[in-house]
Structure 1
Amino acid sequence: MKRAHNMPDIETDQSDSTNTPLYLKIAHKLERQIISGERAVGSLLPPEAELAAQLGISRHTIRQAIAQLRQRGMLAARKGVGTRVESARPQWRERFRDNNRGDLFEFASETEMFISLKDRVEIRGKLATEIGCRPGKTLLYMEGPRHFINEAAPFCWNEVYLDPIAEPVIRDMDVQRSSLFHLIEAHTGERIVDIQQDIRAVPISDEICSKLGRPNGTIGLRITRRYVSSGGRLMEYAVQTSPAESFAYRTHIQAT
């Protein structure tokens, strides 16, 4: 198996935000190299220590960058072999280790939702039952595709219903780059203490298939999350529709 010992130039470009952590800048650059074919599927990365020395960064930073691409399914660590390029296309990995809400915050920081519609909607019928609110209640609504940062193709479609108290949070928002529940907490002072998640296999509607650039009849997963505050108030209800091949679920269970 071929190992690339000469590290291609990995200086971050001007499109990277100055607020982006260094490990994410390195991960984004590595990702672009893999997508372009500069790092071919099946090839091995140099060892962590060698990469870190070439880049003038710590092993901890390069380890974090590699972890990002492992979570996206683009790299895989093989014992006794090294870190191998597995895929030229990011694969979304939904990660909820130890039921940690910090994983949601981390995931939001790695992706962007481009808001195509914002509105106020009156919730009735089955939707009211699904969300868990009284029929006739008015909620804020927004929708749009979600992308990995610097990726052109969306990996899922998002629909979000919010308590009207969150209106100042989204008023001028065109792109969501951080977790909404964190912004809502900062605005309202109410902590989100309960996040209820449901995952179901569904046929994706023709409308969403078109928006995601997928053929009609694509099978996907519909992930819903209810974000409830310490006062028992439903602050956010999010619906995420992902093509099945771009989703993997992993959890960590420890004996007590």
Structure 2
Amino acid sequence: MIAHAPSTEIPRYQEIVSILLKEIDGGAYRVGDRMPTEFDLCARFDVSRHTVREALRKLEDMGLISRRPGAGTVLAATTPDSRYINSISSLDELMQYASATRLEVLRSEPIEADAGLAALLDCEPGTPWVRVDAQRWAADTRMPFCLTILYVRGDFADIVPKVGREQVAVYRMIEESHGVTVREVTQDIEGVVLDADTIAALGVPSGSAGLRITRLYLGADGQVFEGAINIHPADRFRYSMRLQRQSDPPSGRKGTRS
């Protein structure tokens, strides 16, 4: 069986975003100007309407454009929001997030789970893991926007040297190297006051607020094989999420009681 390396090809919508960003920066549009229509962009770039809408969604998330039904797309700002905007609705987008940013590893060490870590990772105390601390950077950020603490289960420790050297999601490295399949990813988001380690790693003022996002990756056996804690200063990050209804609601009940 031939293992195919994950593609590093830039998504087409991201290429469109890059081109439009250069045009905005170059003064092709002024604040308040109408932007090209979806139809015009489809014809210009020879892409589907879905691809164009994804590109426009990214620009909207960056705070650059405003879209209103009947009013078209208007340039709202010429400078993107200084915060890194994370928009994830699937594992595929999570993989793109990893390939669009980079990790700079600060330190790594083998550890054994104490009671607290065992409760977090749903494993037995004493289970071997490798902890990796890293800064996460994006191409358009001048400072790291996140401190990432990774926990890789000990039996997959051989992939740790690749972390920070390859712009590939860690769970994907494990899948490719060990044939593990992600069955489920859990995610918890909470507001925190940044601790001393995060303040030192990211260079933020003492007492700063932030978001802590904890993701656990479970394999087909239901066991956690990777944990990731991402800690973001409030002024460098925004989490964006869009929810879509998958099916129509049941039609059996035609009304509600107040």
Q: Is 1:180 aligned to residue 193 of structure 2?
A: no
| Partner of residue 21 from structure 1, selected from 3, 8, 11 | 11
Q: Which residue of 2 aligns with 1:237?
A: 227
Contact 1:34/1:88, CA 8 A, preserved across alignment: no
Q: Matched residues in 1 for 2:16 and 2:126: separation?
A: 48
Q: Is 1:58 aligned to residue 47 of structure 2?
A: yes
Query: Aligned AA for 1:65?
Result: A
Q: Matched residues in 2 for 1:232 and 1:146: separation?
A: 28
Greater displacement, 107-116 / 34-43 = 34-43
Q: Which residue of 2 aligns with 1:198?
A: 188
| Partner of residue 95 from structure 2, selected from 91, 105, 113 | 105
Report the CA distance between 1:150 and its aligned residue.
4.5
Q: Matched residues in 2 for 1:152 and 1:32: separation?
A: 18
Paired residues for 1:155-174 under 5 Å:
155-174=145-164
Greater displacement, 246-255 / 151-160 = 246-255
Task: List runs of 5+ in structure 2 lacking aligned partners.
Answer: 1-6, 250-258
Identity, % of aligned pairs? 24
Q: Matched residues in 2 for 1:248 and 1:63: separation?
A: 19
Contact 2:8/2:99, CA 8 A, preserved across alignment: no
Query: Aligned AA for 1:58?
Result: V
Q: Is 1:252 aligned to residue 228 of structure 2?
A: no
Report the CA distance between 1:191 and its aligned residue.
1.1
Q: Which residue of 2 aligns with 1:12?
A: none
Q: Which residue of 1 aligns with 2:203?
A: 213
26 and 192 in structure 1: CA distance in 2 versus 1, 3 angstrom threshold:
same
Q: Is 1:84 aligned to residue 75 of structure 2?
A: yes
Contact 1:33/1:39, CA 8 A, preserved across alignment: yes
126 and 25 in structure 1: CA distance in 2 versus 1, 3 angstrom threshold:
same
Report the CA distance between 1:239 and its aligned residue.
0.1
TM-score relative to the length of structure 1: 0.76
Q: Which residue of 2 aligns with 1:115?
A: 105
Larger Rg: 2
Q: Matched residues in 2 for 1:213 and 1:33: separation?
A: 33
Q: Matched residues in 1 for 2:38 and 2:219: separation?
A: 42
Greater displacement, 149-158 / 225-234 = 149-158
Contact 1:51/1:62, CA 8 A, preserved across alignment: yes
TM-score relative to the length of structure 2: 0.75
Q: Matched residues in 1 for 2:154 and 2:19: separation?
A: 39
195 and 18 in structure 1: CA distance in 2 versus 1, 3 angstrom threshold:
closer
Tell me, what secondary structure is at the counterpart of 2:226?
Answer: strand
40 and 145 in structure 1: CA distance in 2 versus 1, 3 angstrom threshold:
farther
Contact 2:130/2:157, CA 8 A, preserved across alignment: yes
